[in-house]
């Protein structure tokens, strides 16, 4: 069989390594812009859809009980809201008893797609955040505690009284973290789930998105989760090792065909069939010299590094 060596090093690392030609494929929750894809000699396509959630560690607050909005979360990460009983948080949570506890913001210290989705959402919610911090896989947070990876942020948030952090939903759920509901673009308080991620992705016009460049944060729709995003795969348009790239594509093809149930169990959203068909057409048209994906897998072992959020 074929072995895939997958390294969770963050989207920034995945982009850096694929551009440096040290891996067979990279992955990122921040899509590269069409010009960047072209200049790097890459092909980009979506793999799966998921969500990032804010999670809090406030005494007595259970998962889904606290409601926040983008402006309030941005103000926390700008250092403007410093206590959990701040009037702006109390206004969103009139039924919660909020303590006079200092807020400890936790952020991703490594370059990551989670950073990008979170900072992109806050930039859309808060002009001041957009102007002073902006959106990227790595930003300069003015306050807080840094931690590496979703795992690090989850651990730091659960271990720190008064903390707020942001992680992929699967990590929040698996670690029983007190994720917050968010007020979405339609003004509705929504909880993170595969259904609300799907709602955010429903209006995505992939057919007209050049190089599949689509950002799914802050989408319209009453049930849309506002920090939704796709994970993208990056491969070479002219692979230095066509056999290795062909084997990687066979794995992705297998995942499209067979991974939907596994994805759903982890609270991710599989791509719609029409989009998968579009991606397969992209492979055929844009990736040169690769053996047909439908051919039988060989027996060599491949070392494939990638970066995810």
Asked whether 130 and 123 are in contact (CB, 8 A), the reply is yes
Range 55-64 average pLDDT: 97
pLDDT at position 303 over 90: no
> Any idea what DSSP says for residue 207?
G
pLDDT at position 272 over 80: yes
CATH architecture of residue range(s) 52-193: 3-Layer(aba) Sandwich (3.40)
Q: How confident is the model at residue 308 (pLDDT cuts 50, 70, 90)?
A: very low
Percent of the chain with pLDDT over 90: 79
Task: Output the pLDDT for position 16.
Answer: 79
Closest Cα to residue 70, out of 277, 251, 197, 226?
226
User: CA 232, CA 49: separation in Å to the nearest integer?
Assistant: 9
- Per CATH, the homologous superfamily of domain 11-49+204-286 is Periplasmic binding protein-like II (3.40.190.10)
Domains 11-49+204-286 and 52-193 share a fold: yes
Q: Model's pTM, two decimal places?
A: 0.87
User: CA 168, CA 175: separation in Å to the nearest integer?
Assistant: 11
What are the φ and ψ backbone dihedral angles of 198, each rounded to 5 degrees? -60, -40
Q: If DSSP codes are grouped into helix, strand and coil, which group holds residue 182?
A: strand
Domain boundaries, the chain: 11-49+204-286, 52-193
Express each pLDDT in 106-126 by its tens digit.
Answer: 999 998 999 999 999 999 999
């Amino acid at each position: 069989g074929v072995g895939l060596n997958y390294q969770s090093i963050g989207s920034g690392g995945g982009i850096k390594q694929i551009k440096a030609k040290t891996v067979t494929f990279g992955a990122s929750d921040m899509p590269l812009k069409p010009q960047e894809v072209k200049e790097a000699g890459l092909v980009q396509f979506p793999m799966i859809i998921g969500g990032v959630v804010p999670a809090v560690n406030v005494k007595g607050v259970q998962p889904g009980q606290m409601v926040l909005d983008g402006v309030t979360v941005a103000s926390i990460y700008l250092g403007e809201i410093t206590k959990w009983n701040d009037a702006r948080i109390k206004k969103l949570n009139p039924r919660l008893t909020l303590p006079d506890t200092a807020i400890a913001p936790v952020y991703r210290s490594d370059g990551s797609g989670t950073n990008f989705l979170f900072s992109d959402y806050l930039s859309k919610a808060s002009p001041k955040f957009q102007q002073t911090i902006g959106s990227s896989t790595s930003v300069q947070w003015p306050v807080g505690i840094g931690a590496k990876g979703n795992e690090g942020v989850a651990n730091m948030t659960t271990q720190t009284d008064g903390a707020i952090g942001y992680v992929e939903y699967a990590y929040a759920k698996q670690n029983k973290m007190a994720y917050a509901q968010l007020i979405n673009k339609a003004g509705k308080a929504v909880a993170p789930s595969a259904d609300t991620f799907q709602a955010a992705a429903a209006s995505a016009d992939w057919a007209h998105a050049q190089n599949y460049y689509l950002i799914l944060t802050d989408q319209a729709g009453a049930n849309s989760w506002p920090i939704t995003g796709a994970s993208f795969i990056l491969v070479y348009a002219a692979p230095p090792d066509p056999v290795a790239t062909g084997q990687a594509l066979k794995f992705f093809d297998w995942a499209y065909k067979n991974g939907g149930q596994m994805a759903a169990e982890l609270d991710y959203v599989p791509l719609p069939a029409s989009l998968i068909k579009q991606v397969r057409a992209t492979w055929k048209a844009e990736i040169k010299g690769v053996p047909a994906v439908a051919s039988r897998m060989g027996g060599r072992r491949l070392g494939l590094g990638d970066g995810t959020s």
